[in-house]
Structure 1
Amino acid sequence: MTSAPAPEAPVGTASVSTHILDTSRGRPATGVAVTLSVRAGTSARWTAHGTSATDADGRCKDLPAVPEGTTHVRLDFAVEPYFTRCFTHQAEAQQDAPRSRDSDAPVFFPEVTVVFAVTPGEHYHVPLLLNPFGYSVYRGS
């Protein structure tokens, strides 16, 4: 999937971008579905606002700007299909190698959800550092 540059955020709205690095492989995580949801206030309901998938560089460059009045953003990363593909590819490449003790284990984190507060006019880059048994996120630049 080829991603176009993220649309410019209208004045008064926030914009969001993300990327995923698979730290167990030292490579970008490609083909991970990402859903962006928004809400206006802590008691408001979440509304799905956009979807994307990470490109060959592990980036989502085409997430839409968030609507005016948004106070919180949620990024949902569907990582289980990514790890299933990685485990399948690894098993095929090492078909004669001894099985590791975790090779039949289900994915420990099938999805990762990150919620953060936003301020109008700001850009939020939220990288996800991912491995089969852990993850971390931070506000990037």
Structure 2
Amino acid sequence: MKKTTLTAIFALFTVITFAQKKIYQLSSHILDVSKGLPASGVTIKLENYNEDTKSWKLVDEKVTNENGRIGDFLSSEKNNNGIYKLTYYTSEYFKKNNTQSFYPWIEVVFEIKDENHYHVPITLSAYGYSTYRGN
């Protein structure tokens, strides 16, 4: 097979692979500022608020990877506008690290109003946390 044919096949494969890559609208990560390291193995639950019933509905639940991240909440293939809550279950993380902590979980409520990407990280220590809208 000619080199140009192999190059063309590889280029087509690359285009198809990237074209099929799913894009997500919401991501999060946790940085343990007491260690200066990502917090891996933390369960994060995502819920959506139903204004009619004034209740929360489970959307997804995932565990942070070795970089303390979850990058695949809410597929961008549909309209995700609404009020959401991320619950970070921090108690088990601190127990695994033999650390006393004050917050057994952290809830962060926010609103998605458009089709942009939303990144909701937290910085965490045993007795405090902070959150912000990242990118």
Q: TM-score range by the shorter chain?
A: 0.7 to 0.9
Please give the secondary structure, in 2, of the residue aligned with 1:140.
Answer: coil
Are the aligned partners of 2:87 and 2:108 in contact in 1 as well (CA < 8 Å)? yes
Identity of aligned residues (%): 32
Partners of 2:80 and 2:39 in 1: CA distance = 32
Structure 2 length-normalised TM: 0.75
Aligned residue runs from structure 1 range 1-141, under 5 A: 7-9=22-24, 15-41=25-51, 44-65=54-75, 68=79, 70-87=81-98, 105=100, 107-141=101-135
> CA RMSD for the aligned pairs?
2.2
CA distance in 2, matches of 1:42, 1:123: 26
Partner AA of 2:111 in structure 1: A
1:61 counterpart SS class: strand
| More RCO (CA 8 Å, sep 6+) | 1
Q: Which runs of 5+ in 1 are unaligned?
A: 1-5, 10-14, 88-102
CA distance in 1, matches of 2:49, 2:127: 30
Deviation at residue 40 of structure 1 after TM alignment: 4.5
Q: 1:132 to 1:69 in 2, by over 3 A?
A: closer
Report the Cα distance in structure 2 between the residues aligned to 1:40 and 1:50, rounded to whole angstroms.
15
Return 5+ residue gaps in structure 2 as ranges: 1-20
Query: Highest CA radius of gyration, 1 or 2?
Result: 2
1:39–1:70 contact (8 Å) kept in structure 2:
no
